[in-house]
Amino acid sequence: MSASMIVIAVVFGAITGIAALLPLVQGEPEPVHQGPRGTAHQNRAMETLNAEKWRVLRSLRDLDFDYDMGKLTDDVYTAQRIDLIRLGAAIVQRLDALEGDVLAQQARIEAAVAAFRQQSHKSA
């Protein structure tokens, strides 16, 4: 085998290895929150809650992995899992309530705009 073929094989192998390991190094992308948009304060609160929700989900995944690897006793695993699920549920409830507030606010704005347009058409 010639030297150029060896170099090509090494380069191809390196590129393939990097491509295969890249998703593992990058980690999981956090989904972008696509819910309703409110005030700047509401948007920051929703982004914070969404980030915290994903942190809790990653913690649950890690907890399950540690338990499957035998690193945790049944009692510790159960207690920590219950705490994380409760925390996650509270975060989701708060996020849902905040999104409901934003949607109600948007509906009030839409109603006010519609009333203004209707009033403008009557006076014109």
Question: For the segment 4-25, what is each residue's pLDDT rounded down to a tens digit?
Answer: 777 777 666 667 656 666 665 5
Q: How far is CA 33 from the centre of its chain?
A: 7
* Residue 43 or 24, more confident: 43
Question: For the segment 92-113, what is each residue's pLDDT rounded down to a tens digit?
Answer: 999 999 999 999 888 899 999 9
CA–CA separation, 99 and 38 (whole Å): 8
State the greatest distance between any 2 C-alpha atoms of the chain, in Å, as a whole number: 89
| Residue 80, pLDDT above cutoff 80 | yes
What's the pLDDT score for residue 26? 59
Q: Where are the domains of the chain?
A: 31-123
